[in-house]
Amino acid sequence: MSLAATMIVLSLLFITVTVSSSPPGGFTIDLIHRRSNSSSSRLSKTQLGSSPYADTIFDTSESSYYMKLQIGTPPVEIEALIDTGSELIWTQCMPCINCFDQQGPMFDPSKSSTYKEKICDGHSCPYDFIYGDGSYSIGNYATETVTIQSTSGQPFVMPETTFGCGNNNSGFSSTGSGIVGLSWASTSLISQLGEDYIGLFSYCFSGKGTSKINFGSNAIVAGDGVVATTMFIKKEQPGFYYLNLDAVSVGETRIETLGTPFHALDGNIVIDSGTTFTYLPDSYCNKVKEEVANVVKAEQVTNSDDMLCYTSKTVDIFPVITMHFSNDADLVLEKYNMFVDVGGDVFCLAIMCSSMTQDDGIAIFGNRAQNNFLVGYDSSSSVVSFMPTDCSALWS
């Protein structure tokens, strides 16, 4: 039972191997609370009242989420993994040196009238991205017209969007053809949407059906049951959206981070759409696991990925887990969020312990735990909001 092997651990922990020369707008971080007043030539007036969005798709084989976008002129539709933990939009490009199988047609720059390769110091501008799970994309930076949908009914057109045209790509599911980075960094989709939309997006993930990712005004999450917590950025990992986890409750037992190396006030866990499970540092994680083991009476079974697993026919026997984020943002999770049915009447806790030290590890709040919450990011006010929602029923 190698569940984790089939689950994606993408964005976080990713090592960026940089390029020969620094790409334009490359890895510099453009903090987006700064809403400048300069003219927004990227947006036509008709786009201003509208809210861009894209349809999302769940890939069951990897527990990952994809969004549809169009690239080039004439537009080619691609599906790309939604990744708040990375910064680059890339897709597989012809001519391919080494590409993984993809379901849809592959983007061919020679057939697009708006494709422009980026030039750095007189030559093409390579990128080389390696993700946390060893997958990679290698290619050249270029600009293209990227198109998504909008509530106005007109397409939302983003001319001259920087993206990676990947000719050597490996380790990805055939469901998609690339990744959409949604981090704070300047090459992400979020940073390139135009200043009226910058930093505001929301998604609602579930284990079935399709959904939407919203940008701009439609991405504001408000209403009954919303909890909001502060978003932090950290110098060491400037693109990531950090939250601060104060405690985890297993049933009624609250396990504080206070007194463990994990404790912080300025962000200790990255919220990531591109990683399936939740990762906590050993010192704290083991306390949570021990409490789960105390409460659950079912027979424990060993698991090759060192997960905590039990024999059970139903998820009902497991305790409710609550994540306590700062600002009293208590996320009461459904059992589905935290206990994964791996088949054969076995359920496993969706929390992985990692032997990270304070300096080199990253705790991750993964997408399984975020299922059936409408999750809203607002970078200009540094807040992430969660509203319990039946995501599969929301936009079908």
Ligand X SMILES: *[C@@H]1O[C@H](CO)[C@@H](O)[C@H](O)[C@H]1NC(C)=O
How far apart (Å, rounded) are the C-alpha atoms in residues 164 and 143? 8
Cβ-based nearer residue to ligand X, 37 or 302: 37
Contact between 41 and ligand X by CB under 6 A: the answer reads no
Cβ-based nearer residue to ligand X, 16 or 326: 16
Site string for ligand X, 236-255 (x = CB under 6 A): --------------------
Cβ-based nearer residue to ligand X, 194 or 281: 194
Amino acid at 77: E
Cβ-based nearer residue to ligand X, 17 or 222: 17
To ligand X, the closest distance from the beta carbon of 100 in angstroms equals 12
Closest CA to 323 of 386, 392, 232: 386
Q: Which of 5, 37, 113, 121 binds ligand X (CB under 6 A)?
A: 37
How far apart (Å, rounded) are the C-alpha atoms in residues 351 and 367? 11
Half-sphere exposure of 351 (CA within 13 A, CB side): 24
- CB distance 10 to 135 below 8 Å: yes
To ligand X, the closest distance from the beta carbon of 237 in angstroms equals 23
Site string for ligand X, 124-163 (x = CB under 6 A): ------------x-x-------------------------
Cβ-based nearer residue to ligand X, 129 or 365: 129
Distances (CA, A) of 37 to 41, 46, 194: 12, 18, 12
Does 272 participate in catalysis according to the annotation? yes
Q: Which of 55, 83, 266, 316 is catalytic?
A: 83
Task: Name residues contacting ligand X, limited to 61-100 (CB under 6 A).
Answer: 97-98
Buried residues in 319-353 as b, exposed as e (16+ CB within 10 A): bebbbbbbeebebebeebbbbbbbeeebbbbbbbb
Q: Which of 133, 196, 246, 272 is catalytic?
A: 272
Contact between 168 and ligand X by CB under 6 A: the answer reads yes
Give the pairing of strands 76-83 and 156-170. Answer: unpaired
To ligand X, the closest distance from the beta carbon of 140 in angstroms equals 14
To ligand X, the closest distance from the beta carbon of 38 in angstroms equals 7
Q: Length of the chain in residues, anyone?
A: 396
To ligand X, the closest distance from the beta carbon of 33 in angstroms equals 15
Distances (CA, A) of 388 to 53, 244, 250, 301: 20, 19, 19, 32
Say how many residues touch ligand X, by CB under 6 A. Answer: 6
Contact between 165 and ligand X by CB under 6 A: the answer reads no
How far apart (Å, rounded) are the C-alpha atoms in residues 106 and 282? 42
**SS3 for 185-200, per residue?**
CCCCCHHHCCCCCCCE
To ligand X, the closest distance from the beta carbon of 295 in angstroms equals 45
The set of catalytic residues is 83, 272
The binding site for ligand X (CB under 6 A) comprises 37, 97-98, 136, 138, 168
